[in-house]
Amino acid sequence: MMQTRKSKRSFRLETLTPAQLVDLSKGYRKKGMKEQDDPQERKRLFHQATLMRGLAKIKAKRLAKANSPEPSPFPTPSSPNAKVDASPTNTPRTLPENDSLLNREACQWLKAAKLQPEPPHLHLLTFAWWGWENGVRGDCPKDRTYALEMQVELLFGWKPENVMTWLFNHPDGPEDPLEQEESLLIWLRTASSPLRAASGVLSEIWYRQQADCLTLR
């Protein structure tokens, strides 16, 4: 007698509507609330919920912009987050995280690319976004680039210290975050060009994103 096997439900994030992404976020959050035995799994589920809600907001904004008959009267900001790019009323603040060896190395590559580093942002993120705008995708597959782009956009809305903590706490990497950071630092110091250096940064973000989002694997 032939048995029918129940097929596992699958989906592609780029095909989901903002409302469906919000529902997905609620589902992850509900699972996280129920998870009591595994703290790491609980943390992953809540992160997934936050990521899906962030993707929903970004997608909703893009759809609204695409359907708008009038072009935006505002210039395109240098980073993907217009709110973060709002001109400060006083002298731009500098970030303590930009004094790290890794961000200073990213700053040097920005200067090599004839760009002026932006004090309110992490040099590493500014450099990653520059690479993205110049066609760099790192190790991200072509059918997943939409997810990497959204992740970089989301990172601009995070606190700088949280970006650095998240990026160098890969669950499959060395236990010491400094050791994970050292790997990217070596890449930046030995890269042959700004584009090659940016590829390493975007690859690092992609692999870290994959660790949190199982649907991207």
Comparison of pLDDT for 52 and 3, the residue scoring more? 52
101 within 8 A of 174, measured Cβ to Cβ: no
Chain segment 158-205, per-residue pLDDT in tens: 999 999 999 999 888 888 888 989 999 999 999 999 999 999 999 999
Comparison of pLDDT for 137 and 80, the residue scoring more? 137
Question: What percent of the chain has a predicted confidence (pLDDT) above 90?
Answer: 39
116 within 8 A of 99, measured Cβ to Cβ: no
212 within 8 A of 46, measured Cβ to Cβ: no
pLDDT computed for residue 161 by the predictor = 94
103 within 8 A of 122, measured Cβ to Cβ: yes
Of 40, 25, 51, 159, give the one whose Cα is nearest residue 97. Answer: 159
pLDDT computed for residue 175 by the predictor = 85
**pLDDT higher than threshold 50 for residue 7:** no
Chain segment 60-81, per-residue pLDDT in tens: 776 776 776 554 443 334 556 5
C-alpha to C-alpha distances, 40 to 37, 44, 46, 155, 211, nearest whole angstrom? 9, 6, 10, 21, 12
Whole-number mean pLDDT of the chain? 79
pLDDT computed for residue 78 by the predictor = 52
What DSSP character marks residue 173?
S
pLDDT computed for residue 197 by the predictor = 97
How far, in Å, CA of 124 to CA of 108, rounded? 10
For the beta carbon of residue 11, count every other beta carbon within 10 angstroms: 10
Quote the pTM value. 0.65
pLDDT computed for residue 39 by the predictor = 77
